[in-house]
Structure 1
Amino acid sequence: MTDRKRFLPGKLISSSVGIAVLLTGCGGGGGGSDDDLGLGDGVADISGIIEIAAGTRVDGDYADLWAATGSGSDATVSLPVPSTTGGYLSDRAGQYDSGLEYPEDPDDTYQVPLVDGDRYFLQCFSATGADADTLKATLVLNLDGNLTEIEDACGEGVTVNTSGSATFTISANDGGPFRYVLSIAPKTSLSALDVSWPEPPLRVDQAIVSGSAAVANTLSSSGLRASSVMELERSIGPDTWQVRRKSGASALSGVAGGTQDARAETIEWIQGMREEFGIDVEPNYEFRLTALTGSNPFYADPDDWNLAAIRMDDVWSSGAALTGAGVGVAVMDTGMFSTTPDSYSNWHEDLVHNVVKKGGILDFVNPDYDVDGQEGRDEVPGTPITPANPAATSFHGTHVAGIIAAEDNSVGTVGIAHQATIIPYRVLGVGPVDGEDGTGAVSDLIAAINNAATDRTDVDVINLSLGGLPPVEALQDATDLAYDNDILVVAAGGNSGDASAVYPAANQRVVGVGATNREGELASYSNFGQSVDLLAPGGSLNDGIVNAYGKVSGESLSDDYAYLAGSSMAAPHVAGVYALMKGVQDITPVQFRAQLIAGDLTTTVGPDGTYELDNYTLYGAGLLDANRAVSNIDSFPTVVSAWPRVVELSPSGSERQVLLEVLKHSAENDPRISGSPDLPAAFTLTDNEGNPISSGDAIPDAVRISVNPDAVSGDRPLVEEIRIPYSNGTDSFDLKIPVYVQAADTSGDRDAGRHYVLLLDADDFDSSRSRQVLADYSNGQYRFAIDDVAPGDYILVAGTDLDNNGYVCESGEACAEYPETGRRQVISIGEGDLQLDMSTSFRRPAIAEMGLPRYGFRGYPVPGHQTGTRPDRSLAE
């Protein structure tokens, strides 16, 4: 299998000695002295082109334009689909503390053609650093005379249900000057709509280290230098440790600039250990449960629409003994409701006989999140009362377990596999900062999964109704270990309502589950794309799924029921059906995934099966069908899986590697390519070494897909499906790889606003060696030149200052960093001239693209602009 390890940038660009050693990805120090690099004493000229990402547009009367020219256009701006548009609004004029001024700008207007299913999303950012929650904006959509008005529209996303010519009017109601980004995307878009720098929660001064036994020596007090900056806290799995920053240890590297906070120092410490000691270190991120709605007490007959949706009535009426008996389901969640949570007993009346004590550690919540009164890990996974807010105690894990295995008794609900054994793991506790129930550290989750994979023989499937993580290699290693030990891992696909990848659901070999509502349609909140292999019932925001819960009255606990919605509720439907199948026949995760890929476990999505768009299935294999699953239990085809499941490419030409995995029936021959791939004209397909794929070839470990920019045209995205035929000599299949390419967007129409280009001293952004120029705009791109640059180490960035507050690259501003936004690198300038090109956009890269997040980053101050003086140049028209 092709190595999945993340790419860590490793180059420092030098104008006199070529390629040397990099010190940073998203933060790193200078590359040594000039003498070390052999630089001369002369000067260099720096120039470059800044390409504007397709679909990028800008407000016509933003504050910086007014400050520079004394005017701006309030005319309606035309937008393509998809598009990302940056703007500025304020209900009053005023002055920042720096002396820079901002004008009154009460509203902006945009025109865009929309079709059914297009989505729009507004995000707002304070220009003064005030809490974004104080910003008040109203968005009015006029779609061919039909008005939709959203008050407090910041952070709101809407899907349109009709086609036509649309006018957006965004108005500032309160909150002073602010930036905003209006994102518009078709339903088929794979891109996330987030335009702020990602700041996933993490545990300060903690990290996860993975590697061979040699790494253990590095961590030991008698080992290498790493022991001077970190100390071993505990093992969380094979060759995996949780470590803590040693008291008094400083970060090992850093690029100047940006507001430091404890999270940023933690990232610098991690980055420094990677570079200094060559070990695999990752942040200890926090994650959360993925339910959306609270409890509505339930006492009457159960509302079992979710079971009908997956055809459980047909399963139970078949006469077969389909109960999941003897199958162990590990529910890794908030623990299990008990009236005495400090003892392994007194479980919810709907689960009491299915939660069987078999010994071993089951509470993995570390002391930072634990409120159960017991120090460290223990054998009791009961859900304790949340001290700060008892009524808000989450019994999420109990609800999830009930969907899987609520008993067939005279009360409450009936679970899908109502005689399966529930093994409750407690991995979610109470957030130490905000006191929010249902929060945990990824190190605890990794430890729990590794425990189930190595220390227990009673676990057959793991349910993870949680998420919100970026990719973590140690977490992928843990889910791989479970899979290799014949444990299926099922995870919630996410609730952000877009195609952003949510982990662990997006991990390779993990079955990610999206959510449907009562009508069998994709729920408005449900993710799709990379994190979703299939769909199952999750409910809507005001009409969820009922199941077991708990109730807190003072210091006493009692059984209860609640309605919850979310992909948290969808995932246990799949875990339950797997338990049903395994209770009849000893199937494996390999067989289950093969059946899923072959379409043996699902049916088409929607009441009339019409939710398949242009040969591109947004929702994986479709809607879970329990009756089909148990009916096809003997079917085990040899198939090929692809990861990532869907591919997104840039219209300007890009390439993506897709890993292939053969899920093989032992009695069948190895599959081979059985014909020419069905390849749309815009794409090129090769194996991982660049060779064409031909009939008769063995299935390669990976393929590479690229797009020809000249073949991409039109004002809508290109949505295609590449099909690779293969056969094992008996059965034939098509490997289907959906590919999405953003609309080409005529380059001359692109505009991201006035761009300041900053060449900043890597050691001190305020140094007199730092330089600033204003880029020239022409025909949809920028050009810049910085002459007579003194030798030294620099970083090169560029961006807008829409609100005229003196900073570029803030969230909501267009931003370019060399060589890639989110992965800035130190450039060593010597005597030779350099051509350095970049790309700018209002979007921000995901953590997977950045490698490590960036915390407390306000942006880059524009030299001279902080004094309140006007810029000396305006954009060339």
Structure 2
Amino acid sequence: MNQPFMQRIFYILAVIILMALGGCGGADNKKGNARTVSGTVLVAANTIADSDTHDRNAPQISNSTPSAAQDLPNPGTAGGYVDRSTGDIDDYYLSFLNQNDDIVLFLADATNADLRLTLLKFDPNSQQYTIISTSDNAIQPQIEKVKAPARGEYLIQVEAVRGQTNYQLSVGQGIAPASLPANDFIPGEILVGYTPSVVGVTTSLQIGGYTLKPSGHDLGTSIRSYTLQRSQVTGILSRSSSITASETLQIIKQLRQRPDVRYAEPNYRYYPLAITTPNDPFFASQWNLSNIKLIQGWQQVGAGTPVEVAVLDSGIRFDHPDLSTRFIPDNTFSTGHAGYDFLPAGEGQDGDGPDDDPTDPGVSSFTGSTFHGTLVSGVIAAETNNTTGISGVANTAEIRLLPLRVLSSQGGSTVEICQAIRFAAGLAAAGGHTLSKPVGVINMSFGTPSFSQALQDCISQARNQGVILIAAAGNESSSLPIYPAAYPGVISVSATTLNKDLASYSNTGSTIDIAAPGGDTTQDLNNDGQPDGILTTAATNNNGIVQFGYVYATGTSLATPHVTGVIALMKWIYPSLDPQTLDQWLASGFLTEDLTPASSGPDNRFGYGLLDANKALTEATSAAGGTPIVIPPLLTATPRAINFGATIDSLNLNLSNNGAGSLTVQAPTIVYQSGNNWLTINSMADSNGLGNYQVTVNRNGLLPGNYTATINFGSTANSVGIPVNINVPRVDINASTGYVYFLLTRATDDTVTDTDSGLPKNGRYQFSFSNVSPGDYHLFIGSDMNGDNKICDPGEACGAYAALDQILAIHVDQKSIVDIKATTAFRLNQRTLSLAYPLPATSSP
């Protein structure tokens, strides 16, 4: 199906036209129609590269001895390469660590190589480095880990015991969970356990100016429950009386002095244990779930009605181990699961046309499918509590996915998307298949700037069937509408970062309805040694072999399925939820945390606010006639730890109430574990102390090293402590992924048309291609640390414009393009998506 360029619909957004406007574009190239394409590539913060790799074009500076160790910021990440056979056996790094900091080594190829991680410390007596600890993990050989026993400067050794491999070395600190309310009890109520000789105590007790009146509860022969009242007040006081917790504790202290009392204690409160976290091993890295209060919201999820969620995207990998149980079983479909591929012949890259197999084939080149549908589906419904991978938002087994393939590496079209929407709504057949009832929710993580009345009509038809439609707002940092998110009847989702700020790439505007986590892989604000992206299910296709793993991805494409998953849970609890009711609840604030309390109505950045799963699922429970589990007020900080690294000076900290009821926050205090007076806090919070705080650091006067402090907030509910980390480097450490290559390829077939390469300056790479003919192009960035003449092998730096999971075409027209921006970072096949691409044989610095 060959349609005009601007009429096609793409991943958010798989193609964007970059046209130089007045004052922005470079001068025209006077030689024919050739133009210049140039720009900047940013490096993830606190990243350095091994200075002696196997790349023949890169400058080589040995770090193979302790005296030649490279400085590694804390927290920070180093990407490197070691080879037992060539003599590059050891890489050494020097880092200032805090007590209990983790040093973690990830191997890119644990099958053909074995690495050893050693932590050493300088002994002033012997004037030598001594071994503190060594990791040689035979059980999980792709990961080596040691821990710093005390604060100080340490030497870190990466040693090739066998073979050769790329690696990623990360330094960071563990994050403590938010604290639960401690010693919570009901004021005015006391339990007394008497000695065995005392039986049948049924009378009131007088202690000071108070009366303890038996409450009448049968707790056994020698246990009595009393209600405390002041002696001048008649009757039994209710739980809402003015008896304070302090008064209650004073009376208990006096009761304990009596010889006939074995114990006296308050009437403690107890809370549901469902607040415990899942056993999925990567759950601790899913900050996005706690940001939307999902752990609290899960407590509302009990018995319900099955819900089906249609994911209109690039298809799916039914065989991903964290997704394989989450589809609709149906043996009338060739795959054994309901789903459909609407792509026409020649576009689906699976060798056929429309059929009932929506499997995403993936291809070996960059611009083939990035398994986008698998990324999105993992956020919605990755299996929870299966000791595998991650946790999906919709944690109930009977919420199942209906994958509908409408996007290929070339995008999709209005026709395919309309067909899929109508099929999901139960309005049309596909290949002889029909649905017995409409799905509950449709997820659409794609868009175009072009308005289509036909697509609007299809959306309206589905909405009239009771289907709720969710779509991504777009990643162009623009206020222009993107469709289908901007259509009436569709919930439009913008993206936020870990600290609940608007993501820099997220679109804005009057059509935004709600915000959800989209992440930012250029940051590590929570100091866990990993990028602050959304961790989700992923796959790679390397030379026809599909492998499964997990990826840190970003974008409104990833924000959208958070909303979809929560709404699916709402439908599970309250099957009668329809689009009109949801619109009313959204406008009433029943689904969101208000991030802009000073303004009234929806905001152009966050709509009605950040998705709040606990509020949404509590509302659904009430609407279904159930009794919501009341979670007590719980003060929560986001992020739970703050990492300023070596270059950041100011960050926002958000305090929120992740429970019900109200709480009041007290003024913060700062406890310095090292250094003094380098931290200041400016409140932008509301009258209860909830909201944003600006945290600023001042490195002036601090000696090189790592400094830590704790910001403590007390409240009427509980207290939280937020660890803060800054680094003052011994030398000026600028972010770098080493020597990288820039490939400009034709968008149609990814033939390389030009290359550039080089090192960064001040954490930024500059690239430029001259004599570029008009047309559509792709840009890829990557390193070649293992010297195999390919960039983006597992463990190497890799990036693309605009991102690896959403590759955008650069449209060269009448003017040069000089302001392209992209990012690059080290990527591992275990936790991050990496693809291989051959370098031109003639590539050179």
The two structures have a TM-score, normalised by structure 2, of 0.38
Larger Rg: 2
TM-score using structure 1 length: 0.37
